[in-house]
Amino acid sequence: MKKLITTITTSLLLAACGGSDTDLETAFCIGLGQEASATATAAAAAADAPTVALGDQRTDLELVPVDGGQGGAIVFVADEEGFFAFGLGEDVPLKITDASGADVPLVESVRGSEMCTELAVRHTAELRAAPYTLTFGPSSTTTLPIVAEESDDDVTP
């Protein structure tokens, strides 16, 4: 029942925003403001990174000791080609690499939110339907709330 209410609330808020960049910010604020629906632990080495299903429900990612602080890597599988945005509850550096190890550039990074305090930063990258390694850190953060959304709304042509 709680999930149904959340879905209805999210839909109403997104519809009220009128199809703008605010849609994405609203979705991240809602997702990050809820209790985590899953937890995962990042790996210190990219080769050991677990595959983590990220979506519009908050996942709490436990960061591990890495050079310079806390961080780690996970594998995210993009299920379609397009722009994907990652909303983070803490301003932690993010690097994305493809299966061959090549860097995937961040198209946009937006820090902060006028709508909520839960969204510290969102990073957007153009991805193909494939697995990607997301490497976080270093940071002093030990638990990183994260939400992922497929969205072309965050990119200005």
Place of tokens 């198209």: 107
pLDDT at 85 > cutoff 50: yes
Global pTM reads 0.83
Place of tokens 């909520």: 116
Q: What is the mean pLDDT of residues 2-18?
A: 41
d(CA 69, CA 10): 35
Q: What is the mean pLDDT of residues 8-17?
A: 40
- CATH architecture of the domain covering 2-150: Sandwich (2.60)
State the chain's mean pLDDT as an integer: 87
Predicted confidence (pLDDT) per residue in 24-52, tens digit: 999 999 999 999 999 999 999 999 999 99
3-state SS, residue 57: coil
Q: Are strands 59-62 and 38-41 parallel, antiparallel or unpaired?
A: parallel
| Domain spans of the chain, in order of start | 2-150
